[in-house]
């Protein structure tokens, strides 16, 4: 990840601010506020603002549920109760805003989460950075035979080299053509004084999806948890999962009690259908239970056995 001189200075200026507030703050998150945390080859995630902490969730819950919550002795116990029973509205009381630099193809996947406020870098107004995402060889894989939206076996050797060369050459050529159409280099230099540049809103059509864009992404804690539960999951695409992993670390610094409950009940937990529950009950009783008499589909059976660490029973 490379930051320009101007970007580095902006971060220094932001981090040197001295503001007095009566609002709750999170000391651990304050330490990394505005810092550009690297992701992939040229991307980053920055926390640029937030509102609330674990106590804000507790406060909202006790207003909502009144006397009933007094049975729970601690803030930690209450937050775990809320997470366990999926009482969602108290988590909506906290908000966070990220500045993210990411490849366009990742952004298009990310934007499917329609529960945030987003403002993206405008390629109609400005020239996009001359940076492209090129995956490491360890992330080059063939199409999965069992998952239409996933990766299968690793591609290596000459084929991997060829793929990387194609990605690099196509990105470079398309960006060169982008500059030609604009009649302007990335650094602002005019290419030919006699020519008019094509409008930026049209020239951008030629860029590859591994070009980088940037946006500010603001969401409440509940929807952040929903995003992370999907995008930090092992089956998520590696590139977006890399961003989710960095954001989970920010979550831990921001709301540590909520983070612990989230990792326990949402990330480390397992949701089971009624048929799956019946299978588990039979297994606990030592009764004979197989895929054939479970009533589950093959995929459901394998997912359940894997989640229970009974991979030898998968088919």
pLDDT, one tens digit per residue, over 68-125 is: 545 445 889 999 999 999 999 999 999 999 999 999 999 999 999 999 999 999 998 8
Based on the fold, state whether residues 214 and 86 are members of the same structural domain. Answer: yes
Neighbour tally for 124: CB within 10 Å: 10
Average pLDDT value for residue range 51-65: 87
- Domain count across the chain: 3
Query: Is 172 in contact with 68 (CB distance < 8 Å)?
Result: no
Range of the domain at 140: 134-204
Q: Do the bridges between strand 117-120 and strand 212-220 make them parallel or antiparallel, or are there none, so unpaired?
A: antiparallel
**Catalytic one of 46, 200, 204, 231:** 231
- DSSP, collapsed to helix, strand or coil, labels residue 265 as helix
C-alpha to C-alpha distance for 19 and 49, rounded to whole angstroms? 13
Based on the fold, state whether residues 110 and 224 are members of the same structural domain. Answer: yes
Q: Do the bridges between strand 117-120 and strand 141-143 make them parallel or antiparallel, or are there none, so unpaired?
A: unpaired
Based on the fold, state whether residues 26 and 97 are members of the same structural domain. Answer: yes
DSSP 116: S
Based on the fold, state whether residues 63 and 139 are members of the same structural domain. Answer: no
Query: Could you give the residue ranges of the DSSP H alpha helices within the chain?
Result: 5-15, 27-32, 54-65, 75-84, 104-110, 157-182, 200-203, 221-231, 238-254, 256-262, 274-284, 298-307
Beta-carbon contacts of 49 under 8 Å, excluding residues fewer than 6 positions away, are: 96, 97, 218
148 is catalytic: no
User: Mean pLDDT score of the chain, rounded to an integer?
Assistant: 90
Share of the chain above pLDDT 90, in %: 63
Torsion region of 265: left, alpha or beta (phi above 0 gives left; psi -120 to 50 gives alpha):
alpha
pLDDT at 71: 47
Based on the fold, state whether residues 104 and 39 are members of the same structural domain. Answer: yes
Closest CA relative to residue 189, chosen from 244, 239, 130: 130
Based on the fold, state whether residues 48 and 164 are members of the same structural domain. Answer: no
Residue 312 pLDDT exceeds 80: no
The CATH number of residue 216's host domain is 3.30.1360.170
Share of the chain above pLDDT 70, in %: 96
pLDDT at 195: 93
Our measurement of the distance from residue 217's CA atom to the centroid of its chain's CA atoms, rounded to an integer in Å, reads: 11
pLDDT at 70: 53
Based on the fold, state whether residues 36 and 121 are members of the same structural domain. Answer: yes
Based on the fold, state whether residues 195 and 227 are members of the same structural domain. Answer: no
Q: In angstroms, what CA-CA distances link 200 with 111, 125, 180, 181, 197? A: 23, 7, 11, 9, 8
Residue whose structure tokens are 């001359």:
130
Query: Is 270 in contact with 279 (CB distance < 8 Å)?
Result: no
* Per-position DSSP letters for 16-52, written without gaps between them: T-----SS---HHHHHHTT--EEETTTEEEEEEEEE-
Based on the fold, state whether residues 33 and 165 are members of the same structural domain. Answer: no
Based on the fold, state whether residues 111 and 217 are members of the same structural domain. Answer: yes
- DSSP, collapsed to helix, strand or coil, labels residue 99 as strand
Which one of 204, 232, 255 terminates a domain?
A: 204
Based on the fold, state whether residues 23 and 163 are members of the same structural domain. Answer: no
C-alpha to C-alpha distance for 71 and 101, rounded to whole angstroms? 45
272-282 pLDDT tens trace: 899 999 999 99
Based on the fold, state whether residues 57 and 188 are members of the same structural domain. Answer: no
Which one of 204, 223, 252 terminates a domain?
A: 204
């Amino acid at each position: 990840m490379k930051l320009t001189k101007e970007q580095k200075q902006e971060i220094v200026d932001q981090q040197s601010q001295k503001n007095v507030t009566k609002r709750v703050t999170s000391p651990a998150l304050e330490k990394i506020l505005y810092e550009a945390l690297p992701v992939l080859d040229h991307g980053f995630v920055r926390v640029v603002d937030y509102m609330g902490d674990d106590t804000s969730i507790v406060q909202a819950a006790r207003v909502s549920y009144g006397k009933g919550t007094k049975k729970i002795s601690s803030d930690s116990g209450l937050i775990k109760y809320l997470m366990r029973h999926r009482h969602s509205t108290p988590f909506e009381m906290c908000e966070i805003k990220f500045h993210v630099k990411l490849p366009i193809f990742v952004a298009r996947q990310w934007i499917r989460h329609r529960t945030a406020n987003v403002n993206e870098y405008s390629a109609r107004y400005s020239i996009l950075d001359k940076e492209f995402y090129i995956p490491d060889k360890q992330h080059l894989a063939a199409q999965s035979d069992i998952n239409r939206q996933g990766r299968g076996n690793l591609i290596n050797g000459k084929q991997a080299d060829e793929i990387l060369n194609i990605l690099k050459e196509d990105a470079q050529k398309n960006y060169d053509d982008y500059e030609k159409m604009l009649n302007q280099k990335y650094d602002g230099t005019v290419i030919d004084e006699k020519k008019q540049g094509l409008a930026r809103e049209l020239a951008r059509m030629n860029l590859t999806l591994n070009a980088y864009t940037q946006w500010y992404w603001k969401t409440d804690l509940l929807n952040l948890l929903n995003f992370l539960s999907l995008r930090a999951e092992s089956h998520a695409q590696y590139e977006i999962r890399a961003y989710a992993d960095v954001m989970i670390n920010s979550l831990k610094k921001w709301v540590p009690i909520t983070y612990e409950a989230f990792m326990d009940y949402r990330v480390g937990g397992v949701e089971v259908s009624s048929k799956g529950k019946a299978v588990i009950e039979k297994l606990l009783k030592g009764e004979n239970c197989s895929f054939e008499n479970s009533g589950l589909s093959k995929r459901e059976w394998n997912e359940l056995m894997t989640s229970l660490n009974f991979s030898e029973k998968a088919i």
